[in-house]
A and B are shown apart, each in its own frame.
Chain A
Amino acid sequence: MLYWITMLLLCQWLGELAATASGLPVPGPVIGMILLLAFLLWRGEEPPDLARVADGLLDHLALLFVPAGVGVVAHLALLRAQWPPIAAALLVSTVATVLVTGWVMQRLARERD
């Protein structure tokens, strides 16, 4: 268990290193995810202890966004001044993104079958 927690942090650390060294706007954790995926594909099986650590973290993924979300209190003045364009942009854009991505993916997946 501890081994795989260390492994997750190592992948993230290597990812951050690669991101900083290359100057790409891709964050370290995403590169770390690619590294861990490559490791799993190379290994060809999923270690049960890694599965337990990963599932434990991902079961409560939503919780991890709460601290950043509370940051809304630091922007109340700006949000009060600019709320109509912000609300309109977020709503329209989120709805459009869900519809376009889901529709294109299902259509292309169906064509293949």
Chain B
Amino acid sequence: MDLQSLWVYLAARPLSALLLTLLAYQAGLWLYQRSGRRTWCNPVLIAVLLLGGLLKLSDTDYRTYFEGAQFVHFLLGPATVALAVPIYRQWRAVRQSIGAIAMALTCGSATAIASALLVGWAAGATPAVLASLAPKSVTTPIAMSLAEYGGGLVSLTAVLVIVTGILGAMVGPPLLDMIRVRDPHARGLALGAAAHGIGTARAVQESAAAAAFAGLAIGLNGLATALLLPWVYALFSY
């Protein structure tokens, strides 16, 4: 068997994509740790760049890659359910500040939608791109169904959601330091509201309290966005 057909054979195996995904992420994690856990050295970003580059170089179709990578992707569902555990651990704190949480998330969600639409529109985004941008701060499954509802491109939304998550995890902690937000509950809520699961993964490294509030923010921000967005779409169609 020559090298070319060996490559073609291996690239089509789901095991290859799965293995490469785990390797690329661990390479990202290693670099992140080597950098002294700098937020700009985001492991998801590194893994996506490595894998995307590899797919481009080897001219492999994304669907072929996803055949294997879907096993990792599938775990997003059970992991979202598992967020109930850190929330339960912080339940007393959550109950005490339920009003503040609702207020902060409503403001955050409205800011996320309005600023994405206004800036995108002013900079000349097409309507389909705008509808894909609007739900970018919420977790992937909610964002995709909202984009579809608004006439966006569902798979583009998935990508924009991930990019937003990476961006939020990178700029979030230094921004919060800058405006002196030190309360772990506020930090977690901000990271979860702006950057969903990737922000939460970042909050997990700050503290258990931040992680719980970030997890809570994913669910509640999804809910707030799902409730707000249809009104915004109606407003924009005039």
Contact = CB atoms under 8 A, between A and B. Distances in A.
Interface string A71-113: 1111100100010111011111111111111111110111010
Contacts of B22: 63
Interface in B77-108: 77-89, 91, 96-97, 99-101, 103-105, 107-108
A1 interface: no
A94 B70 contact: no
B187 A102 contact: yes
How large, as a class, is the contact surface on chain A?
35 or more
A62 B44 contact: yes
Contacts of A102: 175-176, 179, 181, 186-187, 189-190
Contact of A67 (B56, B66, B190): B66
A101 to B, nearest CB: 3
A89 B125 contact: yes
Contacts, number: 331
Interface residues of B, number: 115
Given A26-B222, A70-B65, A82 B126 contact: yes
A19 to B, nearest CB: 9
Main secondary structure of the interface of B (DSSP, over half): helix
B81 A11 contact: yes
Interface string A29-54: 11011111100110000100011011
B48 A61 contact: no
Contact of B171 (A9, A26, A98): A98
B52 interface: yes
A66 B186 contact: no
**Which of B52, B80, B96, B141 is the most central at the interface, judged by chain A CB atoms within 10 Å of its CB?**
B80
Given A27-B222, A98-B194, A104 B108 contact: yes
Given A29-B76, A33-B83, A69 B100 contact: no
**Which of B66, B89, B97, B219 is the most central at the interface, judged by chain A CB atoms within 10 Å of its CB?**
B219
B126 to A, nearest CB: 7
A17 interface: no
A62 B48 CA distance: 11
B116 A57 contact: no
A85 B156 CA distance: 14
Contact of A98 (B125, B191, B215): B191
Interface in A1-38: 5, 8-9, 11-12, 15, 24-30, 32-37
Given A101-B104, A105-B190, A9 B119 contact: no
